[in-house]
């Protein structure tokens, strides 16, 4: 048995999980998510817990067992609590602003960057030093990918520390050239 796949998934109050035609659906107070499931994976719900099973001990079925369990657990947490990523913007003159469904970023280039906000994501900008961009949503993959894309526009510089970084990310500053 897969170490991850055999663990049951606790279902909070108000969350339901269903499997029909190789599609897992999770419904909760914050919304609803669906995910395609490969063949050979089964789902049973009993006593407020979801159990993921597999059809055989083939290598592919064992890999899918743990994968489906992790994806389902992430969906359960997303529809009950939600996910949040916080990005910090360091740099003089760097700015961010939300205009409708677009995040406008001024990151020291000759042009502004227009990032279309994905469906299901709420973006909030908090001014201050450092400026913070909050990304909230119920789908862990979409929230994480949006944060990675925004960070990729101007990753942290290793000489001055300017750029966009995740909250709590440590950037090691290099010494640079020294006149001797």
Please state the domain extents for the chain. Answer: 9-80, 83-166
Q: How far is CA 117 from CA 53, 85, 101, 136, 180, in A?
A: 36, 14, 5, 11, 49
CA 164 to CA 154: how far, in whole Å?
Answer: 6
Out of 2.10.60.10, 3.90.930.12, 2.40.30.10, 3.65.10.10, the CATH code matching 83-166 is 3.90.930.12
Q: Do domains 9-80 and 83-166 have the same CATH topology?
A: yes
Instruction: Please report the pLDDT score of residue 19 as a whole number.
Output: 87
3-class DSSP state for residue 150?
helix
Q: Sheet containing 49-54: give its strands across.
A: 9-10, 49-54, 41-46
pLDDT along the chain (180 residues), means of 10: 83 91 93 92 90 90 91 95 96 94 95 96 94 96 97 95 94 82
Instruction: Please report the pLDDT score of residue 179 as a whole number.
Output: 62
Instruction: Please report the pLDDT score of residue 34 as a whole number.
Output: 95
Q: The whole model's pTM is what?
A: 0.89
Maximum distance among all Cα pairs of the chain, rounded to whole angstroms? 72
Which CATH superfamily is 9-80 part of?
A: Ribosomal protein L6 (3.90.930.12)
Instruction: Please report the pLDDT score of residue 5 as a whole number.
Output: 85
The dihedral of CA 126, 93, 102, 115: what is its sign?
negative
The dihedral of CA 141, 85, 18, 10: what is its sign?
positive
Q: Where are the alpha helices (DSSP H) in 25-173?
A: 59-80, 140-153
The H-or-E segment that residue 44 falls in is strand 41-46
């Amino acid at each position: 048995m897969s170490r991850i796949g055999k663990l049951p998934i606790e279902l909070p109050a108000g969350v339901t999980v269903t499997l029909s035609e190789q599609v897992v659906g999770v419904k909760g107070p914050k919304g609803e998510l669906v995910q395609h499931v490969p063949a050979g994976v089964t789902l049973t719900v009993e006593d407020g817990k979801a159990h993921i099973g597999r059809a055989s001990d083939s290598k592919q079925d064992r890999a899918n067992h743990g994968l489906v369990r992790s994806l389902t657990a992430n969906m359960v947490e997303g529809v009950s609590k939600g996910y949040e990523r916080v990005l910090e913007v360091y740099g003089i003159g760097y700015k961010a602003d939300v205009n409708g469904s677009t995040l406008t970023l001024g990151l020291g280039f000759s042009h502004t960057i227009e990032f279309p906000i994905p469906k299901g994501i709420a973006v909030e900008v908090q001014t201050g030093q450092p400026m913070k961009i909050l990304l909230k949503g119920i789908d862990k993959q979409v929230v994480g990918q949006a944060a990675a894309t925004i960070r990729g526009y101007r990753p942290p510089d290793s000489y001055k520390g300017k750029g966009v970084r995740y909250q709590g990310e440590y950037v090691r500053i290099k010494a640079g050239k020294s006149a001797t």
